[in-house]
C-alpha cells in the first residue's frame, strides 16, 4: 500500500509538471524568437558586418572628414564620404562621395569609385579604421565612432507622465487594439520595450521624449530595414527606421538588390530618389513626418545605437460642432538636431487611425518588432484648454 501511494504521488507530480511545462512546439517557437532578437539587437550575435558598419571620423589633411559605412547583407557594403564631417556635425549637405560593391574578405573591405565618376576615390576598411584618397589632395584616416545624442538619458521633470521607465508596461494597453492587433506591450529581459504598443491614456498637446534602438537588418533598403513609427494621437507618424547612409542618390527596392545611382539631372535636382514620385518628391527619413512631402536632413545614426526623439505636438482644434478649425502641428529633433520645424499636418498618415479627434493615445508601431524603446515620457500642455 505504501509503495502504491508513493507511485501515485510520483505520477501526480509528473502530471502536474507536464501541465505547467510549455509544449515542445511552443518552447521551440520561444527559442526561435529569442534567437531572432539576439541577431537583431546584439552586435555580438549579428555577425561581422555589424561590428564594422557605422560612422567613422577623422581628418583629410587639416580638414575634418567623415564616413558612413553601410552593411547591405552577405558581406556587402556601400560607403559615403563627407568632406567637412558627418551629417549634422560639419558636412554642408552638398558634396559627398558614394562607392558601392565593397566585399568583406580577410577582414578587409576595398572600395574604388567607377571610372566615369571623376572623383578618383578609393578606400580601405581594416583594423577598425578607414584609409583612402580622393583624386587630389591629402589622404584620409578615419576611426570608427559612436555618436551620442545630447538628450540621451534625459530625466523626466516632476510634472511629466512617465510611460515607460524599464520597470513595467503598466501604462500600455494590455488588450489587442484595433489599430494594430499585434500591438501588445512586451518588455524584454533587459527592461526594453519592443515596438508595438498603444498607451492607455489619451493625450492632446505635449512635449514627448523617447529613446529608440534600431535592429540590424542589412539586407533591405529603408523601410525594409529596422522599421517602426511613433504615431502621435495614433494618427500622425514620425518615422522611426534605419535610414543611416541612405540620404542621397540611391534608389532601389527591398531585398538583396544593388542600388541604382541616378544623376542630379535625372532626379531633376532632387537627391536620393527612394519613394520619389509626382505626389511625394521628398523621401522619408528617420525622425521626419512620414510621406510629408517636405525636404529634411537625415541625422539618423547607425543601427545598434541608442538614439533620441524629442517632439513638440499640438493637436488639431475643433469648434463646438466638431468642425476642424486648425490643423495639428509638429516639431521634432532627432539626436538633438532639428528635422521637423513647426510643420502642419493636414490629416492622418496612411496606416494611422482614420479621421481626426481632439485627443487620442500614443502608438508605437510594431511592424515586425525590429525596434526597441526606453525612457518614454511626456509633459502635457494646455491641459485645461477647450477642444
Question: How far apart, in whole angstroms, are the C-alpha atoms of residue 100 and residue 72?
Answer: 10
- For residues 242 and 347, membership in a common domain is answered with yes
What is the pLDDT, as a whole number, of residue 240? Answer: 95
Residue 140 sits in the same domain as residue 172? no
What three-state secondary structure class fits 229?
strand
Q: How far apart are CA 225 and CA 195, in angstroms?
A: 14
From 145, 167, 186, give the residue that closes a domain: 145
Residue 112 lies in a domain: yes
Q: Is residue 258 part of a domain?
A: yes
- Quick check: is 16 in a domain? no
Q: What's the CATH code of the domain at 282?
A: 2.60.120.560
**Residue labelled with grid coordinates 508601431:** 365
Whole-number Å distance between alpha carbons of 377 and 385 = 21
- Comparing 123 with 31, the larger pLDDT belongs to 123
| Residue 294 contacts residue 288 (beta carbons within 8 Å) | yes
pLDDT of 271 reads 34
Q: Please write the tens of the pLDDT for every residue from 320-373.
A: 999 999 999 999 999 999 999 999 998 898 888 999 999 999 999 988 889 999
Asked if 318 contacts 358 with a C-beta cutoff of 8 angstroms, the reply is yes
Residue 384 lies in a domain: yes
Q: Are residues 196 and 280 in the same domain?
A: yes
Residues 235 and 326 grouped into a single domain: yes
Q: Which of 121, 145, 169 is the last residue of a domain?
A: 145
171 with 314, same domain? yes
121 plus 154 within the same structural domain: no
Q: Which of 145, 163, 184 is the last residue of a domain?
A: 145
**139 and 152 in a common domain:** no
Residue appearing with cell numbers 547612409:
245
Q: Which residue range is the domain that position 82 belongs to?
A: 48-145
State whether 188 and 321 are in the same domain: yes
Q: What is the CATH number of the domain that holds 52?
A: 2.40.128
Q: DSSP states of 29-68 as a string?
A: HHHHHHHHHHHHH-TTTS-HHHHH-EEEEEEETTEEEEEE
In a domain, 37, yes or no: no
Distance CA 78, CA 72 (A): 7
pLDDT at residue 292 above 70? no
Clarify whether residues 206 and 334 are in a common domain.
yes
Q: Identify the DSSP state of 94.
A: S
pLDDT at 205: 98
**Statement to judge: residues 140 and 200 lie in one domain:** no
C-alpha 19/C-alpha 252 separation (Å) is 51
In this structure, are 280 and 373 located in the same domain?
yes
The pTM of this model reads 0.84
* pLDDT 10s digits, 127-143: 999 999 988 778 999 99
Asked if the structure places residue 42 within a domain, the reply is no
Distances in Å between the Cα of 17 and the Cα atoms of 14, 20, 30 are 5, 5, 19
Same domain, 351 and 305: yes
Q: How confident is the model at residue 13 (pLDDT cuts 50, 70, 90)?
A: low
Q: Is residue 4 part of a domain?
A: no
Q: Does residue 270 register a pLDDT over 80?
A: no
99 is written with which cell numbers? 562607392
Q: Is the pLDDT of residue 4 over 90?
A: no
- Whether 278 maps to a domain, the answer reads yes
pLDDT digits (tens, 9 = 90+) for 192-203: 999 999 999 999
pLDDT digits (tens, 9 = 90+) for 33-83: 788 888 899 988 888 999 999 999 999 999 999 999 999 999 999 999 999
Residue of 131, 9, 114, 12 whose CA lies nearest to 67: 131
- pLDDT, residue 244, reads 93
Calculate mean pLDDT across residues 2-9. Answer: 50
Q: How many domains does the chain have?
A: 2
Amino acid at each position: 500500500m505504501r509503495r502504491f501511494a508513493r507511485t501515485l504521488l510520483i505520477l501526480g507530480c509528473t502530471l502536474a509538471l507536464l501541465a505547467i511545462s510549455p509544449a515542445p512546439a511552443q518552447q521551440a517557437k520561444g527559442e526561435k524568437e529569442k534567437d531572432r532578437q539576439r541577431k537583431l539587437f546584439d552586435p555580438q550575435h549579428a555577425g561581422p558586418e555589424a561590428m564594422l558598419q557605422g560612422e567613422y571620423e577623422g581628418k583629410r589633411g587639416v580638414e575634418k572628414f567623415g564616413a558612413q559605412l553601410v552593411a547591405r547583407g552577405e558581406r556587402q557594403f556601400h560607403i559615403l564620404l563627407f568632406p567637412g564631417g558627418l551629417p549634422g556635425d560639419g558636412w554642408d549637405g552638398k558634396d559627398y562621395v558614394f562607392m558601392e560593391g565593397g566585399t568583406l574578405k580577410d577582414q578587409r573591405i576595398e572600395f574604388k569609385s567607377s571610372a566615369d565618376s571623376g572623383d578618383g576615390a578609393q578606400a580601405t576598411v581594416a583594423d577598425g579604421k578607414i584609409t583612402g584618397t580622393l583624386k587630389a589632395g591629402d589622404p584620409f584616416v578615419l576611426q570608427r565612432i559612436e555618436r551620442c545624442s545630447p538628450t540621451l538619458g534625459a530625466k523626466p521633470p516632476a510634472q511629466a507622465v512617465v510611460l515607460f521607465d524599464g520597470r513595467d508596461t503598466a501604462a500600455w494597453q494590455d488588450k489587442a487594439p484595433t489599430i494594430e492587433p499585434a500591438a501588445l506591450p512586451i518588455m524584454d529581459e533587459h527592461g526594453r520595450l519592443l515596438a508595438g504598443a498603444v498607451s492607455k491614456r489619451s493625450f492632446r498637446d505635449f512635449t514627448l521624449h523617447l529613446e529608440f534602438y534600431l535592429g540590424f537588418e542589412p539586407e533591405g533598403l529603408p523601410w525594409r530595414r529596422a522599421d517602426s513609427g511613433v504615431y502621435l494621437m495614433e494618427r500622425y507618424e514620425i518615422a522611426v527606421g534605419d535610414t543611416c547612409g541612405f540620404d542621397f542618390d540611391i534608389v532601389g527596392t527591398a531585398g538583396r538588390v544593388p542600388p541604382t545611382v541616378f544623376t542630379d539631372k535625372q532626379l531633376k535636382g532632387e537627391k536620393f530618389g527612394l519613394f520619389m514620385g509626382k505626389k511625394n518628391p521628398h523621401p522619408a527619413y528617420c525622425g521626419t513626418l512620414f510621406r510629408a512631402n517636405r525636404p529634411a536632413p537625415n541625422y539618423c545614426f547607425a543601427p545598434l545605437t541608442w538614439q533620441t526623439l524629442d517632439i513638440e505636438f499640438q493637436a488639431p482644434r475643433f469648434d463646438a460642432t466638431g468642425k476642424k478649425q486648425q490643423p495639428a502641428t509638429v516639431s521634432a529633433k532627432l539626436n538633438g538636431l532639428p528635422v521637423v520645424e513647426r510643420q502642419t499636418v493636414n490629416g492622418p498618415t496612411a496606416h494611422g487611425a482614420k479621421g481626426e479627434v481632439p485627443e487620442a493615445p500614443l502608438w508605437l508601431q510594431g511592424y515586425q518588432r525590429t525596434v526597441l524603446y526606453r525612457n518614454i515620457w511626456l509633459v502635457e500642455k494646455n491641459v485645461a484648454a477647450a477642444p
